[in-house]
Amino acid sequence: MKYSLILFLFFLSISCSNTKNQNAIVEEEEIVQPPNFYYGADLSYVNEMEGCNAVYKNANNVIQDPYTIFKEAGANLVRVRLWHNPTWTQYSNYEDVKETILKAKAEGMHVLLDFHYSDNWADPSKQEIPAAWLSELNNTEALGDLLYNYTFETLNNLSKLNLLPEMVQVGNEINPMILQHGELQWPIDWDRNSYLLNKGIKAIRDISALKNKEIGVMLHIAQPENGLWWFEQATQNGVTDFDWIGLSYYPKWSEYDLTNLSVPLKALIATYNKRLMIVETAYPFTLEDIDTAGNILGEDALIPNYPATEQGQLDFLNKLKEIIEFSGGEGLIYWEPAWVSSSCSTLWGQGSHWDNATLFDHNNKANLGMTFYNASLNK
């Protein structure tokens, strides 16, 4: 009897072990091959919009999960922002970003994770240090350790859930020096800036090696003309271990239009031998404002031959994609195509400041601009 019990327990342990291994295999992240061109969508606002009871409809006017809408349209990359500790909102924190990555990967899309290294928006006008790090503002070495540990631990936690992103941004629109407080300091202190950026890069490289997964490192600058001087200075100061040049391109704020945009794009690719992607762009499909939150992209955002119509929006995206490919670039991400109007408020007003520049009409139905993604389905 004792011998039979031992045999039973032995075979039971083998069975449990096999079941555990099978479950582990099922739970492993599916490897999605990189596309020839990234057709991306920044969906950082989607979870919040759904939390505000917004619904999304596909081109057939049927309510559908927004991630599925983008996937079925042809999007193959989701970009998502991460704030350090945004006490003023429940979104764009780690838990929210984790949910976004889970949904994106469930649809078979790649992910670009955008570390803002701030508790709020980081962009060319502000690079505010997280409040939790403020005591180390003038201690570059200690600040570098905080940045490294935060980046590493965030990615390591995502890895445990099989949610590692395919690409990671070290900062968002980092035209100025990162991790500042209050009024921006110019010129850039490159001893400090390069040390901090390289600490972030090292954290990504270390996770990549530890987890045996390739993760592309991206540095993101607003507007191509700024990329020209910024990457020159960065390279001269030892910031060279990155894979992607990421650029924001909004004609409203750039000295380059669609007739000469290829000039800086080609120059950046040729000079630094890096991959290049436009990670932010947008264009209005209407000038109508349907809520009390003023629209950021108004008539001053329009360019000749591209009216504020759904067709004008689509034509702009197709032309921009053509220019990027012609220049040697490998991707185009639409910024906040699902930031529709809702009952929720931003820091500046109720509704959306982008409702006239989404890829959904004012009834939240996928508009003609959404068909931009269709080209990826034919490749």
Helix axes 94-106, 66-73, angle to 10 degrees: 40
In the chain, count H helices and then E strands: 9, 8
Residue with tokens 């555990």: 20
- Report the alpha-carbon distance of residue 378 to residue 313 in Å, rounded: 21
pLDDT of residue 29: 55
Rounded CA separation 204/168 (Å): 8
- Residue 21's pLDDT is 35
Q: For the domain with range 39-378, which CATH number is right: 3.40.50.2000, 3.10.129.10, 3.20.20.80, 1.10.3720.10? A: 3.20.20.80
Looking at residue 31, its pLDDT comes to: 67
Predicted local distance difference test score (pLDDT) of residue 115 = 99
Tens-digit pLDDT string for the chain (379 aa): 333 333 333 333 433 443 333 333 225 556 678 899 999 999 999 999 999 999 999 999 999 999 999 999 999 999 999 999 999 999 999 999 999 999 999 999 999 999 999 999 999 999 999 999 999 999 999 999 999 999 999 999 999 999 999 999 999 999 999 999 999 999 999 999 999 999 999 999 999 999 999 999 999 999 999 999 999 999 999 999 999 999 999 999 999 999 999 999 999 999 999 999 999 999 999 999 999 999 999 999 999 999 999 999 999 999 999 999 999 999 999 999 999 999 888 888 889 999 999 999 999 999 999 999 999 998 6
pLDDT computed for residue 345 by the predictor:
83
Residues with a catalytic annotation lie at 173, 280
Q: How far is CA 175 from CA 87, 141, 219, 247, in A?
A: 25, 21, 10, 11
pLDDT at 230: 99
Distance CA 169, CA 339 (A): 21
